[in-house]
A = this chain, B = another copy of it.
Amino acid sequence: MNANIDRALVALADPTRRAILTRLSFGEARVTDIAAPFDMALNSVSKHIRVLERAQLVRRRRVGREHLLSVQLATLDATAAWIEAQRTQWSARLNILDELLQAEDRADARRRGRSRRPAAKKRSAR
C-alpha cells in the first residue's frame, strides 16, 4: 500500500514527469507526441513514462504499433488524499500535545500559587 504512495511521490517529484502528465491532461497521446515538445531524446521520455506507469499515474493502451498513454487521475487523487491524511493525523497529535502542555502549565501555576516561587518555563514552538 505505502509502496504505491512512494512510487507516486517519487514520480511526481520530477518536473519533466509533471509536464508529461499536464500534456496528457489534454488527451491521450503517443510516446512520440509526448516527447515532441521536450528538448530530450525520445528514449529519455520513454523512460519517464515508464516511471509514471509503475506509479500508476499513467496508463498505456497499445494499438497497433503505437502506445497511447493517458493520465490515471485516481492515483493522483489517492496521493493528495494520502498527504492530506498525514496532515490531519500529525496535526491531531500536535493538538493533543499542546493540550497536555497547557494542562501542565495550569498545574505549574497552581503550584506557584501555593509556594510563591515563579519559575521560567518556556512554551513549545508553533
Contact = CB atoms under 8 A, between A and B. Distances in A.
Interface in A60-95: 61, 68, 70-71, 73, 76-77, 79-80, 83-84, 86-87, 89-91, 93-94
A22 interface: yes
Interface string A32-65: 0000000000000000000000000001010000
A126 interface: yes
Q: How many copies does the complex hold?
A: 2
| Dominant secondary structure at the A interface | helix
13 contacts: A21-B86, A21-B90, A27-B94, A27-B97, A28-B125, A70-B126, A71-B90, A73-B87, A73-B90, A73-B94, A76-B87, A80-B80, A80-B83
